[in-house]
Amino acid sequence: MEEISPLADTKEFKQERKSAVRIIIEGRVQKVGFRNWMQQQATQMHVNGWVRNKNNGSVEAFLYGNEESVRNLIQASYCGPAFASVKRVKEFPEQEVPKNNAGFAVLPSG
């Protein structure tokens, strides 16, 4: 009979899966506090990256960190802040996941 250590399920013994995704959020997502909302959500969820307004009226974000946390932030982006009206969230998985924990920044529009 195999003996299982009580520590086997602790986070320190599990390999944490990382992911990086660039997303484009479309709809009424500018001038509704979307960037600040996303920065707050990302900080609470321990997701790194950045967010910025695009000239075409959408919001672009680059998210990286724990795979589950990144996925949760993407899911939250479908609703966004109170006055947003999200029509679509496009996801573009990135091949490389940055290794540093740089926090989450609001970048100038671009």
- Structural fold of domain 17-95: Alpha-Beta Plaits (3.30.70)
Q: How much is the mean pLDDT over the chain? A: 89
**CA–CA gap between residue 49 and residue 75 (Å, rounded):** 16
Tens digit of each residue's pLDDT (9 = 90 or more) over 23-44: 999 999 999 999 999 999 999 9
Reported as a single tens digit per residue, the pLDDT across 73-99 is: 999 999 999 999 999 999 999 988 888
- This prediction's pTM: 0.84
Q: Which residues are tagged catalytic?
A: 35, 53
